[in-house]
Structure 1
């Protein structure tokens, strides 16, 4: 497991703005994110923390705003790498994540964070395409209800199930629970 990084995607205070995002799922996500972080730190495994720097003027994730800060669960994290991005994939951020991982001999990573169906799924898909062994800790992610082009709303739980199906069925990533990921570290 020494070549397995934990990549925490957009675990930011701005996602607590329920009035902006709407209903979310998985209220236990932050506790699972913290459990993964604690396990990685305890074993001195590589940790990457990514934050979304939204260019949208009304976004709670704009740089310089409190919402751009990491959530308290990441306090004291001491990550090996921290960087920002303006798009969904962490592979298209302010740092060349692929090069950083390869330089360190990292061939696999576990993903957790926000939002399940956007930044987590996109990063998992790109990681799979780049040849990494990717695991998504599904219960260490969450998302929000979302309306489709026809106005029909899919619940956050439905979107999370769709992400799990896309990643598993497409061979992009293994989808596991935090408990199963932690059991694999032993």
Structure 2
């Protein structure tokens, strides 16, 4: 795998509100936050662009609603904002895809000449997957760092219930098997990003 010199890291919705397990339920992948931090550090150290995405929920009871303490980025993300040598963008959104936010992510990527994005964040099977799928549809080369994401147990129709791990695996299989993205580990993405160009 090659990580291009101007590949953008898109960090989706790493906000304090996702710490409210009473609202969201059981989560998976306790190593996700450390992996997200590692990706940000690598992208900033190599001068690559980083996009921070924040979900401003319209739900009146959502921990991610504007004005609520849960709307802000987790501390480790906030501490890293503005610290990189490369370009940085803040996108706010009210829907799942970071491509339907403000300012327009696609326009910004186009202006920077970026064709490859690496996607990480919360939740694996919701906003992170939706952003990756749409990126693939729009023609970007999408890399999905699955262990730099996490999600929560979820109940759907017919009483069907899936664990967070099952949902994350399903996202990875759908994205990779369906050709929307290349699913990798954080270690693989970091190694490719620091590898000297051939």
Give the alignment's TM-score, normalised by structure 1: 0.98
What are the within-5 Å matches in structure 2 for residues 61-72 of structure 1? 61-72=64-75
Q: 1:136 is matched with which residue?
A: 144
Q: What is the count of residue pairs matched by the alignment?
A: 186
CA distance in 2, matches of 1:46, 1:158: 31
Unpaired segments of 5 or more residues in structure 1?
none
Deviations 1:75-111 (A, max 9, x none): 1321710021000000001221111001100000100
- What is the CA-CA distance between 1:148 and the residue it aligns to? 1.2
| Distance in 1 (alpha carbons) for counterparts of 2:35 and 2:49 | 18
User: Shift in Å at residue 169 of structure 1?
Assistant: 1.1
In the alignment, the residues of structure 2 paired with residue 84 and residue 129 of structure 1 have an alpha-carbon distance, to the nearest angstrom, of: 21
Which residue in the other structure is 1:34 paired with?
A: 37
**Does the aligned pair in 2 maintain the 1:26–1:142 contact within 8 Å?**
yes
Q: Which runs of 4+ in 1 moved over 4 A?
A: none
Residues 48-88 of structure 1: CA distance to partner in whole angstroms, max 9, x if unpaired? Answer: 00000001000000011110000012113217100210000
Say yes or no: does 1:92 pair with 2:96: no
Alpha-carbon distance in structure 2 between the residues aligned to 1:152 and 1:99: 39
Conserved in 2, the CA contact under 8 Å of 1:13 and 1:67?
Answer: yes
Deviation digits for residues 101-141 of structure 1 (CA, Å, limit 9, x no counterpart): 01100000100000000101100010001110000100000
3-state SS of the aligned residue for 1:109?
strand
Alignment of 1:105 with 2:113, yes or no, is yes
State the distance in 2 between where 1:24 and 1:151 align.
19
TM-score by length of structure 2 reads 0.92
Maintained 8 Å contact 1:13/1:68: yes
Please report the RMSD computed on the Cα atoms of aligned residues, expressed in angstroms: 0.8
Moved more, 30-39 or 78-87: 78-87
Unaligned runs of 5+ in 2: none
Match of 1:156 among 148, 155, 164: 164
What is the match of residue 82 of structure 1? 90
Tell me if the contact between 1:37 and 1:77 (Cα under 8 Å) persists in the aligned partners: no
